[in-house]
Amino acid sequence: MSKSIVDAQSIINGSRFGPFQWLIFGMCFFIVLLDGFDTAAIGFIAPSLVSEWGISRPALAPVLSAALFGLAVGALVAGPLSDRIGRRLMLIVSVLVFGVACLVSAYASNITNLTALRFVTGIGLGAAMPNAVTLMSEFCPDKRRAVIVNLMFCGFPLGAAFGGFLAAWMIPHFGWRSVLMLGGLAPLALLFLLVLHLPESVRYMIAKSQSVEKIRRTLAKINVAAHDASSFFMTEQTQAPSGQGGIALVLSRSYVVGSVMLWLAYFMGLVIFYASINWMPILLKEAGLTPKAATLISALFPLGGIGAVLCGALMDKFNANRVIATCYALTALTVYGIGQAVGNVGLLVVVVFAAGVLMNTAQSSMPALAAAFYPTQGRATGVAWMLGIGRFGGIAGSYLVAELTRQQVGFSGIFSIIAIAGLIACVALFIKQRALPQKLEPAGLRSTEIVGH
């Protein structure tokens, strides 16, 4: 039988989303879920740290932000490395790092040790997230990419919410260290599955001119028709400037405005997310709620990420920039509402959940937006740098609330200030839409071919 030259993406587009892709989805989903759990864990154990170690609220800022500094470093370094050495290896190494570091942090004896270990944990977390997003996006059919990637990214807020509910039960029974132990042991268990079954991205292998037989074996798990191919090529919805990849592509003339606006929007979203998730349990407790009620209500905020699935479907059908910008605008409104509802527990529950749905829908949709914006040669770097630079928004959010409490700003005033970040994110995405480079038009498809031997 004669063999042919085949567009790898056409095989993915023309096949059902089958068991092999669902396995990849499941592994990436749990990586992101554990990322959310470990990232949020410190906020839920913060009240216990205050009680056990006798530290003040403002003194919590370094330990609350340490993982975020690590997340930024991990993402900024891992993105370019992934575009050079592959998505699979970076994912395995990053899961190993954050699993071991989180487990060891359960044995920290003081705030200094815990801060250092949270930084190392953050490096692994920061490297894992963008590579999971990139790998998953490169195994998705074009018409379902946003909804599938958003569904996968729901693991992050669900992991954070799950951490809150578990912490509310585990801390009274087993102490705060048990939360970190679980956050370390779970990714180490997942690591065995990744080593055995996680594949390399087909698009990455084609871009790097790797073995045709290796590409054929991977694609054949999606559709056996790949066995009939003698070589493969790929089409890009977005073009890479000639000879450019990695950060040079992300900051090239065609992409720099869009890149900066993605960074700004994600930065502002994380100002809201971490200011809320790290400080809401403490702020609600001080507003008169019981510690358990404060933890459970706070856990509703990240649980709202389930709305990202609907947003992904809308992104696949309509203008993705405008869909997410609208979510950020509504986020600003509902976050402001949290500050006004503190005197009514029933209303507070509703507003916190609504704010969480809108905020996490917008934030969970951003990686899919970034993955679609960049070509293969710079996709991991583009997604990773958005996530990495955005992490500084989480750091800013944590320190912002620490400073506002130091200035004795009230509960409603704190959330009114936090809400402004949502409006800034909304404006940034409208600017990105207006600055969209011409090379993103469908007529600009680019092909890269591998010649079989």
Q: Which DSSP category does 448 fall into?
A: E
- Residues 420 and 387: their CA atoms lie apart, in Å, by 20
CA dihedral 366, 367, 372, 374 (to 10 degrees): 110
CA dihedral 35, 36, 42, 44 (to 10 degrees): -150
The single residue listed with the structure tokens 């600017």 is: 431
Q: For residue 320, what is the enclosing H or E element?
A: helix 320-340
- Residues 398 and 273: their CA atoms lie apart, in Å, by 9
Sign of CA dihedral 273, 277, 278, 283: positive
CA angle, residues 43, 48, 52, in degrees to nearest 5:
140
Q: How far is CA 226 from the centre of its chain?
A: 32
**CATH code (residue 272):** 1.20.1250.20
Contact 210, 88 (CB under 8 A): no
pLDDT of residue 394: 79
Domain count, the chain: 1
For 268, the 3-state DSSP assignment is helix
Region class of 51: left (phi > 0), else alpha (psi between -120 and 50), else beta: alpha
pLDDT of residue 277: 76
The single residue listed with the structure tokens 């073009």 is: 239
pLDDT of residue 436: 66
- Residues 173 and 311: their CA atoms lie apart, in Å, by 38
363: its two tokens: 């934030």
Give the phi and the psi of residue 447 in degrees, each rounded to 5: -115, 140
- Residues 56 and 402: their CA atoms lie apart, in Å, by 10
- Name the burial class of residue 18, with classes exposed (0-12), middle (13-18) and buried (19+) by CB atoms within 10 angstroms of its CB: exposed
Claim: this prediction has a pTM higher than 0.75: no
Sign of CA dihedral 113, 132, 391, 419: negative
Give the phi and the psi of residue 435 in degrees, each rounded to 5: -95, 10
pLDDT of residue 25: 93
Mind listing the pLDDT tens digit of every residue in the chain (453 residues)? 346 777 777 888 888 888 999 999 999 999 888 877 876 777 778 777 777 777 776 677 777 778 778 888 888 888 778 878 888 898 999 999 989 998 998 888 888 888 899 899 889 988 888 888 888 888 888 778 778 887 887 787 778 777 777 877 888 888 888 888 888 898 999 999 999 999 988 888 887 777 888 888 888 888 887 777 777 777 665 555 555 556 788 887 878 888 899 999 999 998 988 888 777 777 777 666 667 777 777 777 766 556 666 777 777 777 888 889 998 999 999 888 887 777 777 787 788 888 888 888 888 788 888 888 887 777 778 888 888 888 788 778 878 888 887 777 777 788 888 899 999 999 999 998 887 654 443 323 334 444 344
Residue length of the chain: 453
Range of the domain at 209: 4-449
Sign of CA dihedral 387, 372, 380, 101: positive
